[in-house]
Amino acid sequence: MVITKEKVSSDIINLNDVQLRQVAEFLDYLKFKETSKRPRQFDESEIAKLYQEFSEEDRELAETDLADYAENLNFEDAKK
């Protein structure tokens, strides 16, 4: 059986709303599946920029959390 775009288009025109939604969801799945097969191309400069941004954020969080942690330890020690 030969499948052509015209035949598929003709069949789609005759679908009800539920069937049309199912076809649309399947098309989305096929597109997703195709893009997930391709190896991702990473821009090393963008990765370096993100690494720098996140490392600064991590350091700030660690310093803040460490101060909170020490404060809580002192609080717990004072209760004893």
pLDDT at 28: 94
Q: Tell me what pLDDT residue 12 has.
A: 93
Say whether 76 sits in a helix, a strand or coil.
helix
pLDDT tens, per residue, the chain with 80 residues: 788 999 999 999 999 999 999 999 999 999 998 887 777 777 888 889 888 989 988 888 777 777 777 788 888 888 87
User: Quick check: pTM over 0.85?
Assistant: no
Buried b / exposed e over 19-55, threshold 16 CB at 10 Å, is eeeeeeeeeeeeeeeeeeeeeeeeeeeeeeeeeeeee
Res 19: pLDDT: 95
How far is residue 56's CA from residue 46's CA, in Å, rounded to a whole number?
16
